[in-house]
Amino acid sequence: MELLRFRNLERWFGARCIVREACGVVRQGEHVALVGRNGAGKSTLFSLLTGEAEPDGGEISRDRSSEIGWFRQASGEFFGEHEGRTLRDYVQEAFAHMEADARELERLEHEMGRASGEGLERVMERYALLRERFERAGGHDYVYRIDAVLRGVGFDENDAARLLQSFSGGEKTRAALARVLLDAPDLLLLDEPTNHLDIAGVEWLEGFLSRYGGGVIVVSHDRWFLDRVVGHVWLLEDGTLSAWEGNYSHFVELKARADEERDRRILAQERQIAHERKVIAELATHGSHNYVQLKSRARRLERVERIAPTSRGRALRVSFRPSRPLHDPVVELRGVAKAYGERVLFAPLTLNVRAGECLGIVGANGAGKSTLLKMLTGEVLPDAGDVLWSEGVQRGIYAQEVGELDPEASVLEELLRGWLGTPEEARRLLGALLFTGEDAEKPIAALSGGEKRRVMLAKLVARPANVLLLDEPTNDLDIASREVLEEVLGAFEGTVVMVSHDRFLLERLCDRVVEIAGGAASLYEGGYAELAAAHAPASARVPERMGKTERERRKAGQRNVQTTRGPSPKRQLQDVERRIEALEHEIAAVERELCDPEVYRQGERVRDLQQHLAATREELDGLEGRWGELVDLV
């Protein structure tokens, strides 16, 4: 069944055509990614499809019997009257019709006790139909579905009771996402839904959407997420929308082949045009008796429709300024620990960072990733232990905040602060990082978040460094800019330590990964692929790899997170932590299944799942108490 179809859509801003003759269709069960560079017009097309904006040309057909719901990055900014309500009250509105049905069923039950004869038959018939609809929709379990979705996007029971007005911007955005997921419309349009979610939250959303029976259109820069969720890709490029089959990685392969074929056709056409021009020039030198043939060839050449070149980015030629060579270990963490009050971020951690490696740091929001990185920059001191740097280290720091940029300066002026080369070299660097022509003269204040981050990257490249410390470097970057970042970091010969939620970046670049969770740090020598396999052994968790960059990895060396042999309580603590982790994954798996509307057609299965979930949570509560006792002993 077609949920949405559009033909020849056009949208103009002044003299600029943002969307030109766009056509597309979404059917029941189809999941589509809408991709393109920042500024390509994705948000404009999104607004046309949701009905928030009207096209300047073309038509949109929406199935009248189907419900359309959408989520935007800034959805949390428009709560308005909801600000004084709790999170649970807000999301529970998605089931207002079920609550109304429950009240009607209760009224009918009372009426059946008073009715008789034909009146009783009519009431019982109405009751049976309503009861069937109520149960088919999972009416008995909607409270649990609310809990499951709130947990999935990162909220706990305490958060559900908080007023929305007390929420941060990121929390409000997650609340808005939870609400639209619980609405479960026939066609779901999502604009950057993974923003403000940690890796666990993104993985939960992947599972939810992969089982979603309705149509989905999603705008996202998370390539790993797109590989897991979509089976079709719409590319918006130079105002033109093209459709591709397969997930994002398959689209990249198909697009590369198409671009190569287009380049061959352009080259062949250029050769043919050059030949025609040569013939015309020779005819022109042979006198007026060749005038008719000359004019005929000239007109034919003028009518040739030139093949437009692709808008692919140029091959990057970015190199870091030379710096001193490094020796192992570049930095050594000796028994460092950090806590804020009673909340322990990580217990004593010992870690050696090798020369030339890329080390990733991952964990849930608030786990302590940025705190660990700030210990390396010197912004935060550990409560215990030491951070020891080797001699000759020159650090380059890339923070989440862009406040260090001067809003009054131009892009070029900002880069030239402390620049050691010529202005021409600075312009070449900016051009390699997608600041071409007049872009270099834009004031910092006029840049988007992604453009400001590219300025920060340019400044990082411009200064001598042999160690890079990066905090969420892909935030606000579109896919093209993320690919630029990957190539730049892949060419870096020094040591990189980065905090990131971008699994594609982590998988491509990181030799090893440290995960911070539950007040402890775990090291994965095999990088992000090993971490993903440890959390979910099923191979479906890891999309097909796109291959490493040219960065040569140093894999040799001993394991650097050192575990000191201790007495029996220490070993017990490790066993308890492993069991807690297994139970948490078991709970997440059950919650994902209970989020599937289809499971509510199987009453016994739902009851079994709920009983299993209750027993698992009870065991987890007991183990968490035991964990606290063992921590005190250790």
How is residue 354 annotated by DSSP? P
pLDDT of residue 137: 66
pLDDT of residue 383: 92
Q: Which CATH architecture has domain 568-633?
A: Orthogonal Bundle (1.10)
Q: Is 100 exposed, middle or buried (0-12, 13-18, 19+ CB in 10 A)?
A: exposed
The encoded tokens of residue 515 equal 């995960």
pLDDT of residue 319: 64
pLDDT of residue 539: 34
pLDDT of residue 79: 63
First to last CA, the chain: 61
Pairing of strands 331-340, 2-13: unpaired
CATH number among 1.20.120.350, 3.40.50.300, 3.40.190.10, 3.30.300.30, domain 44-250: 3.40.50.300
Q: Is 35 exposed, middle or buried (0-12, 13-18, 19+ CB in 10 A)?
A: buried
pLDDT of residue 76: 57
pLDDT of residue 65: 87
Enumerate the H helices of 115-218 as residue ranges: 117-136, 142-152, 157-160, 169-183, 199-210
pLDDT of residue 571: 65
Domain ranges of the chain: 44-250, 251-302, 568-633
- Those residues of the chain that have pLDDT short of 50 are 313-316, 537-567
d(CA 341, CA 113): 59
